[in-house]
Chains A and B, each alone.
Chain A
């Protein structure tokens, strides 16, 4: 193998690594209230400490959508403060961008961020997490059994449920 060919292969590997790293830095991944991670388009404007997402990405990653009455998911709607619209919405490159970080602050939602891999984890807003304290209804979930079959707590309606946790550790 010639030195030149060897060098070009090394250079190619180096460039590929750089491209992967750069991709990891600029293409954010959103985990929203524990749902599956969702890559979103990077915002086209200057670096921001906030995460801005397109409206299609907002809906895909979080289930929320922008409506005239606010940011809504099913019957749940959070009005945006009218005097602060520019904190939440920007129009660039024929797309509308939504500030998911500002929305998290509005909901007092915890956010954990990993800069190395570009991951943003938006946890449970306190009002939603603590809602069951007023209804006393057991919070629902869907999880797999050992065969991968999914089961929801709601399947057991009509029976008593002893919800018991254990662990291998």
Chain B
């Protein structure tokens, strides 16, 4: 799922190069970001055969090429996916309803307002009014400060230093050692099913 306001123009070359056997969709309105309350990429959700969420948002690297910056090891995550595929509902990685409800929290009014501001910015950008979109992208970033999708996407659509007074590299530096991705709440080896 490409979370790309630039749509096919920006995501297309990457899809062509990957030549995937799985379905790849292009989400130029960041619909999935908003529906699932995502804040970064790569993020994944596990959905079972009945359309039920069995693991909510978590960082989902499938290799270690960015480990030097992400500090996230893909190995345990890949092992968990394979376990789920093999074991289905019996996989110890499938979360109970109680645990899911603990991890899934309601979107706050500020977060939902951020989504509306970002949507308006996207509309103006797509209508050819990129400069007019910037105040709405800034409002979304202010209202949802933990949402890196809203920051990085907006910065990528113009000159970030000129229009936002910052860059991705500068913002990562500001973290000052704090993790860029929320650590996964996942055991290193398959847990025993209940």
Contacts and interface: CB of A to CB of B under 8 A. Distances in A.
Interface of A: 31, 34, 37, 108, 110-114, 116-117, 119, 121-124, 126, 129-130, 132-133, 136-139, 141, 143-146, 151, 153-154, 156-169
Given A123-B119, A136-B100, A153 B51 contact: yes
Contact of B43 (A113, A116, A119, A164): A164
Given A114-B136, A165-B38, A145 B115 contact: no
B142 interface: no
Nearest to A111: B116
Interface of B: 1-4, 6, 8, 10-16, 23-27, 29, 31-36, 38, 41-53, 60, 81, 84-85, 88, 97, 100-101, 104-107, 109, 112-113, 115-117, 119-120, 123-124, 127, 129, 132, 136, 139, 149, 152-153, 155-156
Contact of B84 (A116, A117, A124, A160): A160
B47 A161 contact: yes
Contacts of A114: 120, 124, 132, 136
B51 A133 contact: no
Contacts of A116: 132
Given A112-B120, A163-B32, A168-B13, 15 more contacts: A31-B119, A123-B116, A124-B107, A126-B106, A126-B107, A126-B112, A129-B35, A132-B104, A133-B105, A137-B51, A143-B32, A146-B16, A158-B49, A161-B47, A162-B45
A168 B14 contact: yes
